[in-house]
Amino acid sequence: MEFAPYDTLLVEQDGAALVVTVNRPDAMNALASTVVKDLLDLTGRLAGLGVDGNWPIRGIVLTGAGTKAFVAGADIREMNSMSPDAAEAYARQMHAVTTRLEALPVPVIAAVNGFALGGGCELALACDFIYAGVRASFGQPEVNLGLVPGFGGSVRLQQRVGLGHARELIYTGRRIDAAEALRIGLANALFDDTDALLAGAKATIQEIAAKAPTSVDNTKRALNRINGLPVAAGLEAEVESFRKAFATEDSVVGRRAFLAKETPEFPGR
């Protein structure tokens, strides 16, 4: 699939990974309305894609351009003159972007190479998981601006790190480094530099690319649906996704290949 050139995003395929780079390094890749428009367009296009072998992409790596920032948040210059109505529309647009990322049939890894603050941290949280470069820095600094998280941080940060850590980060606006992010479970892995970070994210996508595409899609949907549900409701949702797996060709191929001691070639159906 061809992606029209975007003003604020770089999109390139590398093996099984689609690498999406927010490209406004002079403004720390802040989420100006131009970036939000491009993210809406890109995620809208990706939303229609399946995993049935017609599309070679098996995962997405989301990162930021330059050496300093992943995304330093909402664009404070633009927010300076924003009315409550405009702020609501802005937040809803980013909710659409983050919800679409979560609904994609393939995993999205945030490769956080620098500042991931406010809306930047929230964008990373909408990804399936976060890898951090050694210079990564995370925070929800909205309290410094008289604001509150608006791009999903109130929901997803507590889901990721627990209510205690989420409260502390949001009330203090404190920035934490990559090691602390790893310690509290915000980041999954830590890499020495940006090259290693991107290589690590792509290697994980490549690893996932060898697995049954429908299993990954099915599990991603189930995990998102189950997140936060009481145990009984979660188990019901798991039964539904387990049952669905048995109706796929991938499951037939996978079980047959195991019993025949062969490597499965999954059709993605």
Give the residue numbers annotated as catalytic, written as ranges. Answer: 122, 142
CB distance 122 to 156 below 8 Å: yes
Q: Please report how close the Cβ of residue 186 comes to ligand CO8 at its closest, in angstroms.
A: 16
Work out whether 36 is an interface residue with ligand CO8 (CB under 6 A): no
Task: Give the ranges where 139-193 is alpha helix by DSSP (H).
Answer: 153-161, 163-172, 178-183
84: tokens are 């409550």
Q: Please report how close the Cβ of residue 208 comes to ligand CO8 at its closest, in angstroms.
A: 30
Interface residue with ligand CO8 among 59, 64, 105, 118 (CB under 6 A) is 118
Q: Which is nearer to ligand CO8, 30 or 170 (CB)?
A: 30
Amino acid making up residue 199 = A
Interface residue with ligand CO8 among 36, 60, 65, 79 (CB under 6 A) is 79
**CA-CA-CA-CA torsion sign (204, 161, 190, 178):** positive
Work out whether 77 is an interface residue with ligand CO8 (CB under 6 A): yes
Q: Please report how close the Cβ of residue 48 comes to ligand CO8 at its closest, in angstroms.
A: 27
How many residues lie near ligand CO8 (CB under 6 A)? Answer: 24
Amino acid making up residue 36 = V
Q: What own/partner pairs with CB < 8 Å and gap ≥ 24 does 50-53 have?
A: 50/105, 50/268, 51/105, 51/106, 51/213, 51/214, 51/216, 51/217, 51/268, 52/213, 52/267, 52/268, 52/269, 53/213, 53/267, 53/268, 53/269
Work out whether 40 is an interface residue with ligand CO8 (CB under 6 A): no
Q: Among the candidate windows 38-46, 59-67, 74-82, 236-244, which touches ligand CO8 by CB under 6 A?
A: 74-82
170: tokens are 């949001």
Interface residue with ligand CO8 among 64, 105, 119, 254 (CB under 6 A) is 119
- What whole-number distance in Å separates Cα of residue 192 and Cα of residue 215? 32
Q: Which is nearer to ligand CO8, 52 or 177 (CB)?
A: 177
Positions touching ligand CO8 (CB under 6 A) are: 27-28, 30, 72-77, 79, 87, 90-91, 115, 117-119, 141-142, 145, 147, 149-151
